[in-house]
Structure 1
């Protein structure tokens, strides 16, 4: 097996490169880490949610989410409140400053995305999206099967 041709390795390498290229926007201009950005984006799309539910939308583990939530809260970007349905849990929501920051970052990361995909024709973009969906579905299936 050649590692450079092994599909999981190539996907991991691509994901890391894309993540680094995108992170330059929010890290250097807004002092946000990858985890904070993912949580910020998830909350912008979801509204108020249980803190535990953020994990499912971000691919982060429980500790990463907890730390990102704490940093965003310290930065005045989100608020936590006790979950009325579960006294041990928290509900989280973006504050106006967090929503404004999200709206400021989105066009910049979308420009990076557009640059990354700019060499692909519309047909190639559609084929890539469909192929990724199929591979993701197969990966989820394997993960469920163990």
Structure 2
């Protein structure tokens, strides 16, 4: 791995200008806002919401497929699954090809909750990007996908399957 050094090293690291820091702060601010809304109104954690959303979009999946799709770790997905199964929002069934694995799917109640939350999620997104032009939003999504791919490549991972819908 070859890392490029900044041209003006004498400036040193300035945290507020450091892109990884700015991305983290922005992500934490957005996640905190959304997390409070989901927790207060629906009693869901962010991982639980992500799991519900992925199952609503993709249909039934194994926990391993959810880990790959959401880039959440196995323990986080397992805990989110347990909470959702306990609330009867997700059903767990045996995997036909692998007895050690389970297939997860939204229940009727889970699909109903998704239908209630999805418009709220879209409204939050619209409010967050209200000050940006449509082409800026498109560019931002493209740049974020490229940064994610670059980070994965530096980490020795395969390129992510990122949708820019």
Counterpart selection for 1:14 from 13, 26, 33:
26
TM-score (norm 2): 0.83
Residue 94 (structure 2) pairs with residue 82 (structure 1): yes
Task: Show the counterpart of 1:92.
Answer: 104
Residue 128 (structure 2) pairs with residue 116 (structure 1): yes
Structure 2, unpaired ranges of 5+: 1-12, 158-165
Richer in strand (by share): 1
Larger RCO (CA within 8 A; separation ≥ 6): 1
Structure 1 residue 42, shift from structure 2 partner: 1.0
Structure 1 moving runs of 4+ over 6 Å: none
* Equivalent-residue separation in structure 1 for 2:145 and 2:79 (angstroms): 30
* Equivalent-residue separation in structure 1 for 2:73 and 2:101 (angstroms): 16
* Equivalent-residue separation in structure 1 for 2:76 and 2:138 (angstroms): 33
Q: Can you list the C-alpha shifts for 1:63-97, whole angstroms capped at 9, x where unaligned?
A: 11111111100101011011111111111100010
TM-score (norm 1): 0.94
Max radius of gyration: which structure?
A: 2
Say whether the 8 Å CA contact 1:25–1:108 is kept in structure 2. Answer: no
TM-align CA RMSD = 1.2
Say whether the 8 Å CA contact 1:42–1:54 is kept in structure 2. Answer: yes
Structure 1, unpaired ranges of 5+: none
Residue 142 (structure 2) pairs with residue 130 (structure 1): yes
- Match runs of 1:23-42 below 5 Å: 23-42=35-54
Say whether the 8 Å CA contact 1:44–1:102 is kept in structure 2. Answer: yes
Q: Can you list the C-alpha shifts for 1:12-55, whole angstroms capped at 9, x where unaligned?
A: 11111111111222111000011111111111111111122111
